[in-house]
Amino acid sequence: MTDPLHRELLDLAQEAARRAGELLRDGRPADLAVARTKSSPIDVVTEMDIAAEKLITDLISGRRPGDGFLGEEGADTEGTSGIRWVIDPLDGTVNYLYGLPTWAVSIAAEQDGETVVGVVAAPMRGETYHSVRGGGAWATGAWEGERALSCRPAPPLDQALVSTGFNYVAEVRAHQAEVAGRLIPLLRDIRRSGSAAVDLCDVACGRLDGYYERGLNAWDFAAGDLIAREAGALTGGRPGEGPARDLTVAGTPGVFEPLQRLLEDFGAWHD
């Protein structure tokens, strides 16, 4: 039986992700331009990132005025209810800017600091992934009802398909490329989708064996991390730690452990 509060948070997260996803999909201007940049000249924000975050925070705060927010585009409030929403209104902005289909709306709800609900909507795939803590991982799409997600049985590491991402800061990217260069001969192959939230859900769906990245923020991984874990994946950061800015790692059991060890040996968390 799902806790009624968690059910309410899930329903609200799904509605917000669906409406923001429709806004982004149907409202993308043909002449979409960069509104401003953040950590570097290639770390871009569009008017649509900002509009999607506003839609989500307006909707949720209208229904649950006591909740707090942490959103990539600036939402940052404590709240009084013990619930905080961690939101990436558009994960995969560079893909979106270029008209590539891999981008998502990522919404997580934390209760007393722990993620209890995660929703990732990938509108151009026509798929949405969701989890409530302890309740498994699920997808909805162009089929009847909900499909249970479960990560793949582990192949040997040299047959594992692993995704990663590159930070927007040039020196960090250069170091990430070195680490990827050392890893690639040891794996089946490497992918770079352009959306951390989609990568984590692809581990949950069994479409990837593993994923890692340095430099993520909580809004990038909060929802996808819960969905991956609820699908049976292992997730973490550096050995013994949870996913963090230093390092985020996810993988099917049997791939996660050697991948995390190699990333530690290769110093993936720093340059």
Question: Distance between CA atoms of 35 and 27, rounded to whole angstroms?
Answer: 16
Residues 6+ apart with CB under 8 A from 109: 9, 13, 83, 84, 85, 86, 115, 116, 117, 118
Nearer to ligand IPD (CB atom), residue 165 or residue 254: 165
Nearer to Ca ion (CB atom), residue 196 or residue 262: 196
Q: Binds 237, which of Ca ion, ligand IPD, none (CB < 5 to 8 A, cut-off by type)?
A: none
- Amino acid identity of residue 212, one-letter, is Y
Residue 238: count other Cβ atoms within 10 Å of its Cβ: 17
Q: Which two tokens stand for residue 267?
A: 């110093």
Task: Please identify which residue in 68, 118, 210, 215 interacts with ligand IPD, judged by CB under 6 A.
Answer: 215
Nearest-approach distance from CB 146 to ligand IPD, in angstroms:
25
- Amino acid identity of residue 173, one-letter, is R
Residues 6+ apart with CB under 8 A from 117: 6, 9, 10, 13, 108, 109, 130, 131, 132, 133, 226
Question: Distance between CA atoms of 29 and 60, rounded to whole angstroms?
Answer: 25
- The verdict on 194 binding ligand IPD (CB under 6 A) reads yes
Nearest-approach distance from CB 134 to ligand IPD, in angstroms:
26
* Residue keyed to tokens 């871009």: 44
Residues 6+ apart with CB under 8 A from 235: 200, 225, 228, 229, 242, 243, 248, 249, 250, 251, 256
Nearer to Ca ion (CB atom), residue 72 or residue 213: 72
Site for ligand IPD in 105-164 (CB under 6 A): none
Q: Binds 21, which of ligand IPD, Ca ion, none (CB < 5 to 8 A, cut-off by type)?
A: none
Nearest-approach distance from CB 5 to ligand IPD, in angstroms:
28
In the chain the first and final C-alpha atoms are separated, in Å, by 46
- The verdict on 199 binding Ca ion (CB under 5 A) reads no
- The verdict on 213 binding Ca ion (CB under 5 A) reads no
Site for ligand IPD in 86-105 (CB under 6 A): 88, 91-93
- The verdict on 195 binding ligand IPD (CB under 6 A) reads yes
Task: Please identify which residue in 67, 72, 209, 213 interacts with Ca ion, judged by CB under 5 A.
Answer: 72
Question: Distance between CA atoms of 254 and 75, rounded to whole angstroms?
Answer: 38
For 32, 68, 262, the CA distances from 238, given in Å and listed in that order, are: 38, 28, 11
Binding mask 215-254 for Ca ion (x = CB under 5 A): -----x----------------------------------
Q: Binds 194, which of Ca ion, ligand IPD, none (CB < 5 to 8 A, cut-off by type)?
A: ligand IPD
Q: Which stretch binds ligand IPD (CB under 6 A): 6-14, 116-124, 215-223, 238-246?
A: 215-223
72 annotated as a binding-site residue: yes
Nearer to ligand IPD (CB atom), residue 123 or residue 254: 123
Question: Distance between CA atoms of 67 and 148, rounded to whole angstroms?
Answer: 29
Annotated binding site for Mg(2+): 72, 88, 90-91, 220
Binding site for ligand IPD (CB under 6 A): 88, 91-93, 165-167, 194-196, 213, 215-216, 220
